[in-house]
Amino acid sequence: MEVQERAAADNVGLHERGITVTVNGTVHERTESVRRSLVEFIREDLELTGSRPNCRRSSARRSPAP
């Protein structure tokens, strides 16, 4: 997968960014909110659910040995 962030165009506001993602030879160009993660874009828009966000919750951490 190749990811490029485009320079902000005149019609893109301060809270948006242009991205170009190439997945398996198919190019996807979008303007997205700067608050949206790349993992969200890949999972929700491209429906490629193999990518997982980094979980920082304590329940996801390994328990210490007894």
* pLDDT digit string, tens, across residues 47-63: 988 888 876 655 555 55
Residue 62 within a domain: no
Between residues 43 and 54, the one the model is more confident about: 43
The residue with greater pLDDT, 24 or 64, is 24
Residue 54: inside a domain:
no
- pLDDT at residue number 64: 54
Question: For the chain, how many structural domains are there in total?
Answer: 1
Task: Decide if 65 is inside a domain.
Answer: no
Residue 14 lies in a domain: yes
Distances 11 to 17, 30, 37 between C-alpha atoms, Å: 10, 13, 21
> How many CB atoms sit inside 10 A of residue 24's CB?
6
- Supply the range of the domain harboring residue 38: 2-48
Would you say residue 57 lies in a domain? Answer: no
Specify the pLDDT at position 11.
52
Residues 4-40: pLDDT tens digits? 655 544 455 678 888 888 988 999 998 888 888 888 9
Residue 31 lies in a domain: yes
Containing H/E element for 18?
strand 16-23
Considering the domain boundaries, does residue 33 fall inside one? yes
